[in-house]
Amino acid sequence: MDLISIIFGVFGGLSLFLFGLKTLSDGLNKVAGERMKNMLEKLTNKPYKGVFVGAFTTSVIQSSSITMVTLIGLINAGLLTFTQAVGVMLGAEIGTTITAQLIAFKVGIYYLPMITIGFFIYFFTKDKKYHYIGQTILGFGILFLGMSIMSNSVKPLRSDPNFLELLKNFGQIPLLGILAGAIFTGIIQSSSATTGLVIAMGMENVITLPSAIALIFGANIGTCVTGLIASIGSSLSSKRTAVAQLMVNVTGVLLFLPFLSQFANIVALTSIDLARQIANAHTIFNVIVTLIMLPLVGVIVNFVTKILPGEEIKIERGTRYIDKKLLNAPTLAISQASKEVDRMANISAKMLEMSIEALLTENQKLPKIVYKKEESVDELHDEIDHYLEMISSSKGKELTKKDSEHLARLNHSITDIERIADHAVNIAEYAEYRVKNNIKFSNFAKKEVNKLYKKVKSALDKSILSLKKTDRELAEEVLKIEEEIDMMEKKFNEEHMKRLKEGICAPTAGVVFIEILRNLERVGDHATNIANAVLVGF
């Protein structure tokens, strides 16, 4: 037996399998990914719906890892709750078994035609839809080529006593097989690849069914590594979802472990083909575990919440008022857009308030909320900007002079509102910097910051209200307040220089103090721009 040839054959075939799986997943993701994402967002209000969506999505994109990463992204975006995510995650456990069922078919003779057809469609079609369909077919072909190479490479192992003894131990001492499967899957981050390798050994009768089941149990645990890695630096709910997946899979394995021999005997009745038996074992295990866990979603959520305690930062994302269906009625569409702009402006104003509070009180939770809110403001800016553009470019819908002016005011103001949020983020970052570097503000500095903030807040509130009501008197008041803001900033800078000379304030604190004043003054400028949009009348 040539050990080097076997190792390179197995890992070469495995590499092709993984590459084919990625190519296949990417192609399917491009063809149906956005629809799958929308489905995840909309159809997960009940756990059983989440299971269906998770199973369907994963079976389509052929990767539970992609489903988990997508889930974490949706949770971070505030589009899914932890409870909803658990249901989808349970469904993904079922969906991923489809890969095993497909590769258990002896379609090795078809991989070359699939690669040929997929290659020509992928590389020689300009239509994106067919381009991605070609990529999917090519991915399937490469995947089956990898399976064929792995299967042929393990043939010599049928007569190797040491290897057979090792696999025998996996059957007799399942914990060894589970550990091996978990470690291998954790390293390559693909339970489908581990299952594919085990099925390839089954095709050549190199492995026994109990040993194969032990390795698959381990693969179910090892696949949790992807979710755990993806949740690093993510929201608390994302971390909880990753831990819930690990807990569910470990619990499932522990439930089946004492009955592995009996389970193997039952699975053996489902087919005379060992490769199919292995695929069926994978499917039956995941379906049963999901059915057991589905009624316990609430228990899982509560248990994991106790393991990872803390309050999740909940930020409302997306638009609330604008609707493309209203584009045929421009006046109504502009009215709804105005409500959305007002909402965006109030979020930015709240961010500024929280940033100043974080700066003056050293509350380190507030900056994180500010950063989350900024993502929401950025999304709103893009959505509103696009919506206003669609209103202005609507064919056959002439805008009245009043509507045109209103549209122009909104268009002019949203960028200033977005900039106000940016300045709030700057102040939040300085608040964090001040705490991390133990920078102390004198009472004089705190009072001056607070005094300037109140003046800026007055200007900002009046500018938002003037935009909402198209109130010229309020807009005029903003211009007067802006003059006071400029004078106050200049005065406080001068006072600060005196304190520096007298040694009352530290130089390091001075840099932060000046930047805070500058950011507040710039917020005043943006408030003035909004007021001017009301006054100009376009």
Q: Is 393 left (phi over 0), alpha (psi -120 to 50) or beta?
A: alpha
Q: Would you state the pLDDT for residue 154?
A: 63
Cα 259 from Cα 261, distance rounded (Å): 6
State whether 180 and 137 are in the same domain: yes
**Boundary of a domain, candidates 305, 333, 368:** 305
**Rg, C-alpha atoms of the chain:** 30
Number of domains in the chain: 2
Pair (158, 238) in one structural domain: yes
Query: Do residues 221 and 114 share a domain?
Result: yes
**What six digits make up the tokens of 193?**
């690849």
CB 474 within 8 A of CB 370: no
Are 282 and 408 in a shared domain? no
- Mark which of 305, 339, 368 sits at the end of a domain: 305
Residue 201: inside a domain? yes
Residues 300 and 332 in one domain: no
Q: At what angle do helices 236-256 and 64-76 cross, to 10 degrees?
A: 150
Q: Is residue 298 part of a domain?
A: yes
- Domain CATH number, residue 407: 1.20.58.220
> What ranges in 154-207 are assigned the alpha helix state H?
161-172, 174-188, 191-203
Residue 16 has pLDDT above 70, yes or no: yes
Residues 266 and 366 in one domain: no
277 and 331 housed in the same domain: no
Give domain status of residue 199, yes or no.
Answer: yes
Same domain, 180 and 248: yes
In b/e form, how buried is each residue of 64-86, taking b as 16+ CB within 10 angstroms? Answer: bbbbbbbbbbbbbbbbbbbbbbb
Segment among 22-36, 109-123, 210-224, 512-526 with least mean pLDDT: 22-36
- Whether residue 317 lies inside any domain: the answer is no
Burial of residue 216 (number of CB atoms within 10 Å: 0-12, 13-18, 19+): buried
Examine the domain organization and report whether 171 and 82 are in the same domain.
yes
User: Which of 219, 197, 204 minimizes the C-alpha distance to 160?
Assistant: 204
The predicted pLDDT at position 42 comes to 57
CB 225 within 8 A of CB 191: no
> What residue type is 166 in one-letter code?
L
Q: Which of 274, 279, 227 is nearest to 249 (CA)?
A: 227
What count of other Cβ atoms lies within 10 Å of the Cβ of residue 87? Answer: 26
- Domain end, chosen from 305, 334, 353, is at 305
Q: What is the mean pLDDT of residues 25-49?
A: 60
337 lies in the same domain as 298: no
Q: Are residues 455 and 505 in the same domain?
A: yes
Residue 312 lies in a domain: no
pTM of the model: 0.59
Shared domain for 283 and 353, answered yes or no, is: no
CA separation for the pair 26, 63 (Å, rounded): 10
Quick: pLDDT tens for 113-146: 888 898 888 888 877 778 878 887 888 788 778 7
Q: Which domain holds residue 288?
A: 3-305
Least confident piece of the model among 16-20, 82-86, 256-260: 16-20
pLDDT, tens only, 371-382: 888 888 888 898
Residue 310, in any domain of the structure: no
CA distances from residue 428 to 196, 311, 315, 339, 445 in whole angstroms, order as listed? 50, 20, 17, 27, 17
